[in-house]
Amino acid sequence: MRDIVYPPVVGIAKTAFKVLDVRFRLVGTENVPRTGGAVIALNHISYVDFVIGGFGAQPSKRLVRFMAKDVLFRNRISGPLMRGMHHIPVDRGAGAASYREALRYLGEGELVGVFPEATISRSFELKEFKSGTVRMAAAAGVPVIPMILWGTQRMLTKDHPRDFSRHRDISITVGTPITVTRQDDAGEATEHLRTTMAGMLDETIRAYPEQPPGAWWLPASYGGGAPTPEEAERLDQEELSRRRAKHRER
């Protein structure tokens, strides 16, 4: 796949990281294969996760094609960039086309980035996973590479103002590849992936250099001020209701 836009964008991002003095804590990045297709499964806690998640594949000199909301591709600013980097638009009302496109990319030896939770977690813990990640990997005959991001929520996430302060710590933990076949039960394979990533998330949080009690960006179960998963689910439902009301008004 010919890349004209992606490499310069990576260069700009790396320059921005240096200016902001982002301190990356990379663990297990050697698990990202240097060749061949794979599905990168990431937790979702921030609007900048696709940028930081892509950085996690840089040690292997790979580019990640993320599956992202189609609204980003319609935006006059982000649209040309998303298309130029060959990311994959996802229309939740017609997901079959994006699924086929992802399979095509995987068949061509690309890395496809997926957020199994589908939406940002307000609790910063893992939400329930959709089964599409493991089904896609099984259909394409490629491994799933679990990846955990931590610290990105402090930059830009739901319900909080953006904060691109300097000297910020960002952790990226990459787990060992998980093989899924068509014979595996999708529900069981999805739960195995979630359990694996939950353990990785716990290790990543505990190794993070900052653990201030009551911090809004720290999960409630770790003594932080973030909503509990139950509270986060309520907030998600309220947000969904507001969106539906706006849609009806149109």
Q: What is the pTM of this model?
A: 0.94
Tell me 178's DSSP state: B
* pLDDT one-digit tens code per residue, 17-67: 999 999 999 999 999 999 999 999 999 999 999 999 999 999 999 999 999
Average model confidence (pLDDT) across the chain: 95
Distance CA 54, CA 65 (A): 8
CB-hemisphere CA count at 13 Å for 20?
A: 16
Distance CA 190, CA 240 (A): 25
Q: Specify the pLDDT at position 23.
A: 97
* pLDDT one-digit tens code per residue, 62-78: 999 999 988 889 888 89
Distance CA 51, CA 47 (A): 9
Contacts for 63-68: CB closer than 8 Å, 24+ residues apart: 63/3, 63/6, 63/10, 63/110, 63/111, 64/40, 64/111, 64/112, 64/113, 65/102, 65/105, 65/110, 65/111, 65/112, 65/113, 66/112, 66/113, 66/114, 67/98, 67/102, 67/112, 67/113, 67/114, 67/115
* pLDDT one-digit tens code per residue, 113-165: 999 999 999 999 999 999 999 999 999 999 999 999 999 999 999 999 999 99
Least Cα distance to 134 among 43, 38, 35 occurs for: 38
**Residue-level length of the chain:** 250
Percentage of residues in the chain having pLDDT higher than 70: 99
Q: Specify the pLDDT at position 77.
A: 87
Sign, Cα dihedral of 216, 217, 219, 224: negative
Least Cα distance to 168 among 205, 208, 123 occurs for: 208
Distance CA 220, CA 199 (A): 17
